[in-house]
Amino acid sequence: MNAAELIDTYVADVAKRLPRRQRGDVAAELRSILLDELGDRADPADARRVIDAFGRPEEAAARYRPPLVVLDPADTRRFLHWSAGGLAVIWVLGAVSVALEPGPTRS
């Protein structure tokens, strides 16, 4: 396998781990980056070193995916306040419910 084939195989391996809508753009960008790193060297061993330096395909694909954010950091404080308030309401309602329950009856 020559250097270009090694890079193409690596790029395809990274691209298949991405959402379909990103694959083409990321593959073109990644191929360009790796070929620029390789420069004029056409030796497969040099291509392997460039690929190894870029990381495993899973790691490279993860760099192109947007991070999963459940809660926007700007909303964290507000979320904590509302959560604490909600927990307080639940606790108070539970305490009232227990206090209003009739006690055990003896027969």
Q: How many residues would you count in the chain?
A: 107
Q: Kindly list the domain boundaries of the chain, sorted by start residue.
A: 3-64
Give the C-alpha separation, 61 to 10, whole Å.
11
Mean pLDDT of 3-19: 94
Say if pTM beats, i.e. exceeds, 0.75.
no
pLDDT in tens, 12-69: 999 999 999 999 999 999 999 999 999 887 789 999 999 999 999 999 999 988 777 8
Which candidate, 37, 43, 40, places its Cα nearest to that of 6? 43
Give the C-alpha separation, 91 to 96, whole Å.
9
Confidence at 107, pLDDT banded by 50, 70, 90 = low
